[in-house]
Amino acid sequence: MSNGDIMREVQPTERKTMALYFSLPILSWALYDFANTIFSSNITTIFFPFYLQEVIGDNEVLNQIASTFITYANALASFFLVLFSPLFGVLIDRTNQKKKYLVPFALISIIATILMGVFAPIQADTQILGLPLGLLLVLAAFVVAKFFFNSSLVFYDTMISDIGNEREIPLISGYGVAVGYLGTLVGLTVYPFVGNDNFHEAFIPTGILYLLFSLPIFFFFKDQPRKAVVEKKSFLSGYGEILQTFKEMKKHKSIFLFMIAYFFFNDAIATAIAVMAIYASAIVGFTTGMFILLYLVSTISSIIGSFLFGYITKRIGAKSAVTMVATILIIALITAVLATNQGLFWIAGSLYGVAMGAMWVTSRTLIVELTPTDKRGQFFGLFAFSGKISSIIGPLIYGTITLVLAEHGNIASRIALSSLLLMVIIGLVFHVRVPYQKVKI
């Protein structure tokens, strides 16, 4: 019997909601979602794209080129995660240690975020690969920050099975995501100090906030007892264990089918997050201030969706809940593709916010339900692997479409966004085929 199973057995059958949410391990765990969402929203979604548009974009054609830079930088970070995330999962299963690895990965991401702010003001005639030195250094720091941010999440997500039983996990998952999106609101407090230009000035404050709200999990979350080491194995030998898991695919049909579905869902979500700012600006004429307001509304929708789908998942089961979320995402993307005015884009942004918050609540719960305890870290690593392959392919497809069709102006972005809609539909086709039996509550 594993430590996770023992923990679930000795926990109370049902903790009251407030006692659950404000227990120190769960609160410190949720606050890391709060911390890293500040990075995700401020850097990935808002200020880094606006910084690139400010530095590169002068017209419709250059706006498409800026979109390409954003998507390619995100794809490069995801490429490195594809190489290593499965090994991180194996490492968890071998050692039962999560915080031990989360802390240094988070710190490297924080330092790289601060360095983005240090590099951005550099004014030099030196160019490398046709890019100004300052811009190239910011791009490199972003790739490092994004890689280690996502790497830390492999360890963070598996922590959920250490802090709750089967009944509690849907609520804890929803709570964590909702608290995370509150981090977006705090992160946006840097906007009044940045204004409508010099967007790089948001990078250093974002890194500081990221660090500040990571401290609770650094100090208050405790790893489970370390597993006894039967034999020492090299880090890279983990690929052999992953290969063996793939050979046992028939035994784990449900989780592998959902992994394929999640690949397509994440493709749409991750790419849309990366391009949302420039798309809103180029297609429906949102100013920076209007987009910030839209993002606030979308964030509130995400918070509501996260809490709501925690309870929905508990009631109807994780598989049905994922189906509902995917349907909402399809409606949001159709509305965004066809939007001809700002009103329609407000609707699209609000629906997307609900789907974005709820998808990870429902997916994370379904992963826990479908995976065997002794391979849970490995499967979370494989899901990060699946998600990040899609985070390469999605941005590459989107960026290539905007690059090839750049001379056609804004129509290029509408066609690129339509590719994300197709991805969600394909994911839904695979998802409905996942064998599933609802956990009894």
Residue 7: the pLDDT is 39
Q: Is the pLDDT of residue 218 over 90?
A: yes
Cα-to-chain-centroid distance, residue 264: 14
State the SS3 of 197-236.
CCHHHHHHHHHHHHHHHHHHHHHHCCCCCCCCCCCCCCHH
Task: Please give the torsion angle defined by the CA atoms of residues 132, 135, 137 and 142, in that order, rounded to the nearest 10 degrees.
Answer: -160
Q: Is the pLDDT of residue 250 over 80?
A: no
Residue 277: the pLDDT is 76
Amino acid 129 reads L
In degrees, rounded to 5, the angle at the alpha carbon of residue 87 between the alpha carbons of residues 227 and 168 is 60
Least confident piece of the model among 69-78, 151-160, 192-201, 295-304 = 69-78
Residue linked to tokens 């499965």: 86
Q: Domain locations in the chain? A: 23-221+247-431
Give the range with max mean pLDDT: 56-60, 105-109, 121-125, 416-420: 105-109
Residue 6: the pLDDT is 36
Least confident piece of the model among 10-19, 304-313, 318-327, 389-398 = 10-19
Residue-wise pLDDT for 322-352, tens only, equals 999 999 999 999 998 888 888 888 999 899 9
Number of CB atoms found within 10 A of residue 428's CB: 18
Distance CA(437)–CA(208), nearest Å, equals 44
CB 348 within 8 A of CB 332: yes
Burial 252-280 (b: 16+ CB within 10 A, else e): bebbbbbbbbbbbbbbbbbbbbbbbbbbb
Q: Is the pLDDT of residue 1 over 60?
A: no
Residue-wise pLDDT for 370-382, tens only, equals 877 777 766 776 7
Residue-wise pLDDT for 156-215, tens only, equals 888 887 887 777 777 887 788 788 888 888 998 888 878 677 888 999 999 999 999 999
pTM for the model? 0.69
Amino acid 88 reads F
- The pair of structure tokens assigned to 423 is 């991805």
Residue 102: the pLDDT is 93
Residue-wise pLDDT for 125-136, tens only, equals 666 666 678 888
| CATH superfamily to which 23-221+247-431 belongs | MFS general substrate transporter like domains (1.20.1250.20)
Residue 2: the pLDDT is 38
CB 142 within 8 A of CB 119: no
- The pair of structure tokens assigned to 29 is 């765990």
Helix, strand or coil for residue 352? helix
Sign of the alpha-carbon dihedral angle for 433, 359, 416, 334: positive
Q: Which of 136, 160, 200, 121 is nearest to 28 (CA)?
A: 160
Residue 10: the pLDDT is 38
Residue 4: the pLDDT is 40
Residue-wise pLDDT for 383-426, tens only, equals 766 766 766 777 778 878 887 887 777 788 888 888 899 999 99
Residue-wise pLDDT for 202-215, tens only, equals 999 999 999 999 99
- The pair of structure tokens assigned to 73 is 């930088």
CB 292 within 8 A of CB 149: no
Q: Which residues pair with 128 in a beta bridge?
A: 131
